[in-house]
Amino acid sequence: QKEVEQNSGPLSVPEGAIASLNCTYSDRGSQSFFWYRQYSGKSPELIMSIYSNGDKEDGRFTAQLNKASQYVSLLIRDSQPSDSATYLCAVTGNQFYFGTGTSLTVIP
Amino acid sequence: EAGVTQFPSHSVIEKGQTVTLRCDPISGHDNLYWYRRVMGKEIKFLLHFVKESKQDESGMPNNRFLAERTGGTYSTLKVQPAELEDSGVYFCASSQWARRGPGANVLTFGAGSRLTVL
């Protein structure tokens, strides 16, 4: 079983819609959860971090964490074409574990 | 503030040859990590330095891989001899802190070094 699971996509949404990205993890002891965005050929960049159950909002981004279900998600409101990228879920246990990433395309 | 820089951005070598990848972390970051992403797979941990010491090298695939961080500044990752399955993107990341718990391990990544072994 992988430490972190994500649907690889591709996920396509029209411009202005809400994009929903999901991630599950296996280590119940995980304490820190991150979403990174990676444009093609570029480095992953941190866009959201969340550490406690519930929602955390930052601009158009909302991260949701449910430790009981071992589930973390990222919502992108009012999606823009510039949001088209691969989104990586990362979880820290003994190490920093990544999912395979979900490819998002926002269609103008 | 300069970010994490990696060199080369892309290297194409033949099987059996040697390649050395370099990473310059953010100044002041004691923690340096190497990761690798093989096409279609997740980014996988290779090893972690705290200053010049190897904190965890459990992700190193085999003894063809050698990582060093002399003086606790930049790091090199040498692959010798390279095999076809070593192809992928090698990411370096650094962080100021490495403690567990909330707020720990916020990593800043370099752009990666793409290795192609023919």
pLDDT digits (tens, 9 = 90+) for A4-26: 999 878 999 999 999 999 999 99
- Tell me what percent of the residues of chain A surpass a pLDDT of 90: 76
pLDDT digits (tens, 9 = 90+) for B24-72: 999 988 899 999 998 878 889 899 999 999 988 989 999 999 999 988 8
Instruction: Give A88's contacts (C-beta < 8 A, 6+ positions apart).
Output: A6, A35, A36, A37, A38, A44, A98, A99, A101, B43
Give the pLDDT band of residue B107 (cuts 50, 70, 90).
confident
Give the pLDDT band of residue B104 (cuts 50, 70, 90).
low
Given an 8 Å threshold on Cβ–Cβ distance, is A32 in contact with B103?
A: yes
Tell me what pLDDT residue B103 has.
Answer: 52
Q: String of b and e for B70-104 (b: at least 16 CB within 10 Å)?
A: eeeebbebebeebeeebbbbbbbbbbeebeeeeee
How far A79 CA sits from the closest chain B CA (Å)?
A: 25
Instruction: Tell me if chain B has a CB within 8 Å of the CB of A99.
Output: yes
Q: Enumerate the residues of chain B whose CB falls inside 8 A of the CB of residue A101.
A: 42
Flag whether pLDDT at A84 surpasses 70. Answer: yes
Flag whether pLDDT at A58 surpasses 90. Answer: yes
For chains A and B, what is the number of CB pairs under 8 angstroms?
Answer: 58
Tell me what pLDDT residue B98 has.
Answer: 59
